Every structure is written in C-alpha cells, then in structure tokens.
Amino acid sequence: MSARGMARHLDRLRFGATHRKVWILSALGIMLDGFDFFIMGVAIPLIVAEWNISPLQTGMVSSAAIMGAIVGASVMGRISDRIGRKLAFRIDLGMFVVFALASALAPDIWWLILFRFLLGIGVGADYPIASSYVAEISPNRLRSRLLIGAFSFQAVGQLLGALVGLLVLTLNPVPDAWRWMLAFGVVPALIIVILRRGVPESPMWLASVRRYDEAIDSVTQFTGRALTIDEVREISEEGAVAGVVRPTEARVTRAEQKQLFSKGVRGTTALTAVPWFFMDIATYGVGVFTPTILAALALSSSANTQFIADDITSTEGAAFLDIFLIVGFAAAILLVRRLGLIVMQTTGFIVMAAGLVVLGLTDFLPQDSPIQLALVFSAFAAFNLFMNAGPNSTTFALPAVAFRIENRGAGAGFAAAAGKTGAAVGTFFFPILQAGLGLFPTLLIIAAGCVVAAAVTLAFRARAHASVDAEERTIPIDPEDH
C-alpha cells in the first residue's frame, strides 16, 4: 500500500471512539482559552479598583497572556516535535494550572502581569498542538467541520467565563473577588490534563522519529487493524496528509518569509494575514472589554461603592450576548460548505463594522432609555454572531486552502502570528484609547479595521483560486467550489 493509498484509507474510516476522544480533549483545551480570555474582562474592573492601576497598566495586564501565547505557539510547537504530541498535550495545560493559581495569588500588578504572560505561553502552545493533532487523525470529509467545531469551543469557554464571573461576584461581591475568578480555571484544566493522559501518541509523529512499532500500535487505535512496518515507514516518508499544518511547519524561517512576499505569493499572504490581524484586534479588543463597554454605554453612572453592582449587571448582559458567539460558530459549521470562506468572511467583517458604529452612536442617546438599550444589545449581538459565523472561523481555515503545499506551513504560521499580534494590539491599546479619545472614536477605529479587512479579502480573493487547484481543497473558498 502506498502512502497516498494509506491516506485515502484513513480518510474512509468511520469516525470512531478514539477520534472523538482526541477531538473532545483538544476542543476542551481551546475552551479554556475562551474561559481565560473572558474571565479577565470580568476581573479587570475589580483589579483596577483594588490596585488603582493606570490605563497603561490595564493594557499590559489585559494583553500579557496574549503576548505569552505568541511565544507559546512558536516555542512549544518546536518542543512537541522533540518530545511528542502526547506529552506536549499535557505540559501546556500543566503550565495553565500552575500560573492560573499563581495569578490568583499575585501580590501586585507587576507579578500579575508576569504570571499572566507565563500562563499565556501554555494557552498559546495548545493551539498548534491540538489543531495539528485533530487535523492529522481526521478523515478528509470531516476535517473542515472538526477543526471549526473544535475552535468553536472558544465561545463555550467565553460563556463559561461570564457565568463563573457572575457566580463569584454574586457570592463574594468584594474587589478581590477577581482572585477566585482566575483560580477557578485550575479545576477544569486539571481534569483535562488527567484525561489527556489516556490519548494515544500521534502516529504521524511516531513514524517521523522512526518509532515504527509504537506507530503501528497507535494507528491501530484509530484504524481498527494493525499496520505493517513498511506501511508506517511509507507514511513517514510521505509526511502529513495534504492540508495538515504541523507545529514544525508553523516556524517561519527568514527564507520562507521572503518566499511569502515573492511575486505570485504575496497576494495570498495578504489575503490570509491582513484580515486575521484586524479580526483579532476586534475580537480581543472588544471581547475582553465587553463588560466595560456595556457598563459605559448601558449603565447609569454610579458611585465608586456601586461599581461591583455595575460589574455584575454588565456581566449578566455579556453572558447573554455570549450565546450569539455559540450560535455564530454553529452557523459557520453548517454554512461553510454552502457559502464558502470568502463570502462568509467578507459579510462578517461588514456586519461587524456596522455593529461597532451603531454601538458607538448609542453613546449619544439618553442612557438607560429603551431605544438605547435595544440598540446596544442588538449591535453587540450582530457583532458576536457575524464575527464567529464569519472571520473568527474563516481566518483560521483559509490558510490551509489558500496556499500551495510548498508554502502552506509557512503561510499558516505567518497568518497566525499576524492574528496574535492583532490580539495583543487590541487588548493593549483599547483601554488607552478609550481613556484618551473616548469610547466612540475607539470603536470607530476598530470598525475601520474591519472595513479594511473586508476590502483586502475581496481584493485578493482571486489569489486563493490561483494558488490551489479545486480538487486539492478540503474547504470551499466560494459557493461554486462545493
């Protein structure tokens, strides 16, 4: 049996119990990222009140974990190539456990920033390891939906973060309640680390390091039959299944980066990296500060002694709005093969921009009036729904189908780095811009970024078709591709 024949054989397999276990435990790791991402949005007003920190320090503590995630995504990807997916699969969340607890016990803002950065390394590491493992073991016919489905658990984590924050504030309405919020993440992380001990090692990794006997045992858990050593050796020589991006491939060398900006490739690089950069500015900048935005727009000004009540109310509103994040991901899974990535991405960016403009304009309406409250929640709901039904799903999937095999790993790594850079920019500068310019100009700036991203998507859409033949794609780019 040839390597490609083995790939076709794996693609025809029934999605079995071992596939489900790997997928669920990967998705739960991404859920923790969503949880941590949102719980900070609830905790930040309390941290500001307890330590009286400046807008600059607020931006630093908000973006620290995301800066760490940039490091984790590159460093742990390389380490996993040496120690294997299974061990790396546990180390990354082990870091989450240790530094989530350390963050909850931080004595001052600078220690908190440090611990959040170190926690972010673990969170960032889980993305390339988990997504690569899911892609390696997924049948081709299910790969796009399984990847987007796993990524959708970020929204589940955000809703969980809102509910936990609300519970903690209700039971313990004091400024240092943020410590319990950050500590809560230790519990699910420990459970996931323990459960991940039972997953098999990646058969592709075992084959790549010539541990053929172990690779046979691992593949057997997915295929239901043993493979010969020659078959596993053939797979190792072939490499990953087409369309799969491994952590090793996420490292962008100088030569690869130069190639990404060469004639004929730079348009694809722009198509995948620029929209992801602006999308994460909006996703993280607005998402982390959702309770803050709701408190500024939809709550009457109150005395400092009532800020916890405001935080509770805004968190209740944020929890309701997070439901639209889940609905958006569900829509993406259902519509991706019908509409294609370009239509979903462009439409999503346009509606996100419109939602942000409407949201900012409500600042000029009478506060707490019925029309203002209706517009605030409608605009936020549209932003969340179309963000996850569009760019938050499509930017994750587009590099795998827009680049040719020889550029795919480098292109996907560069695009992901651009996205994380946007996330850091959004969370760092949002409180600074809000304090210096006001909420409406800040939201307008983010909306302008969404418009630019939509324009870039449309301007360079042809590059995706020119780069990859239709039969090589596992996800349609346009409606006519399916």
Q: What DSSP letter does each residue of 151-210 carry, written as one string? A: HTHHHHHHHHHHHHHHHHHHH--SGGGHHHHHHHTHHHHHHHHHHHTTSPPPHHHHHHTT
DSSP per position, 45-89? HHHHHHH---HHHHHHHHHHHHHHHHHHHHHHHHHHHHH-HHHHH
Q: Confirm if 291 and 114 have CB atoms less than 8 A apart.
A: no
Segment 15-29 mean pLDDT:
86
Neighbours of 302 (CB within 10 A): 12
Nearest-angstrom CA–CA distance, 92 and 75:
11
Instruction: Give the position of tokens 């940039």.
Output: 70
pLDDT in tens, 381-428: 999 999 999 999 888 778 767 777 566 666 777 887 788 889 989 999
Please report which confidence band the pLDDT of residue 466 belongs to, taking 50, 70 and 90 as the band edges.
low
Q: Residue 73: is its pLDDT beyond 50?
A: yes
Q: Which of 1-5, 157-161, 292-296, 316-320 has the lowest mean pLDDT?
A: 1-5
**Quick one: how far is CA 33 from the chain centroid?**
8
Position 11 scores a pLDDT of 64
Nearest-angstrom CA–CA distance, 463 and 78:
30
In 400-482, beta strands by DSSP E: none
Nearest-angstrom CA–CA distance, 95 and 83:
16
Distances (CA, A) of 103 to 51, 97, 116, 184: 15, 10, 6, 11
pLDDT in tens, 116-165: 999 998 887 787 677 767 777 777 777 767 877 887 888 889 889 888 98
Q: Confirm if 123 and 75 have CB atoms less than 8 A apart.
A: no
Residue 469 has what DSSP assignment?
-
Q: Confirm if 137 and 21 have CB atoms less than 8 A apart.
A: no
Q: Residue 229: is its pLDDT beyond 70?
A: no
Q: Which amino acid is at 439?
A: L
Segment 209-221 mean pLDDT:
75
Neighbours of 110 (CB within 10 A): 12
Burial of 404 (0-12, 13-18, 19+ CB in 10 A): middle
Position 341 scores a pLDDT of 87
Q: Residue 38: is its pLDDT beyond 60?
A: yes
Please choose, from the candidates 312, 320, 321, the residue with its C-alpha nearest in 3D space to the C-alpha of residue 169: 312
Nearest-angstrom CA–CA distance, 314 and 293:
8
Q: Residue 331: is its pLDDT beyond 70?
A: yes
Residue 108 has what DSSP assignment?
S
Q: pTM for the whole thing? A: 0.77
Q: Confirm if 388 and 328 have CB atoms less than 8 A apart.
A: yes
Position 264 scores a pLDDT of 76
Segment 238-263 mean pLDDT:
53
Nearest-angstrom CA–CA distance, 59 and 292:
13
Position 225 scores a pLDDT of 64
Segment 339-346 mean pLDDT:
91
Tell me the helices (H) and strands (E) count for the chain, helix number first.
22, 0
Please report which confidence band the pLDDT of residue 255 belongs to, taking 50, 70 and 90 as the band edges.
low
Position 115 scores a pLDDT of 97
Dihedral of CA atoms 34, 36, 42, 47 in degrees, nearest 10, equals -160
Instruction: Give the position of tokens 């998507």.
Output: 457
In 302-340, alpha helices (H): 307-339
Nearest-angstrom CA–CA distance, 409 and 256:
9
Instruction: Give the position of tokens 């517009």.
Output: 375
Q: Residue 305: is its pLDDT beyond 70?
A: no
What's the mean per-residue pLDDT of the chain?
81
Nearest-angstrom CA–CA distance, 89 and 92:
6
Q: Confirm if 394 and 340 have CB atoms less than 8 A apart.
A: no
Nearest-angstrom CA–CA distance, 465 and 197:
41
Q: Which amino acid is at 123?
A: V
User: Considering the chain, what percentage of its residues have pLDDT values greater than 90?
Assistant: 33
**Tokens, residue 225:** 């039959």
More confident residue, 393 or 359: 359
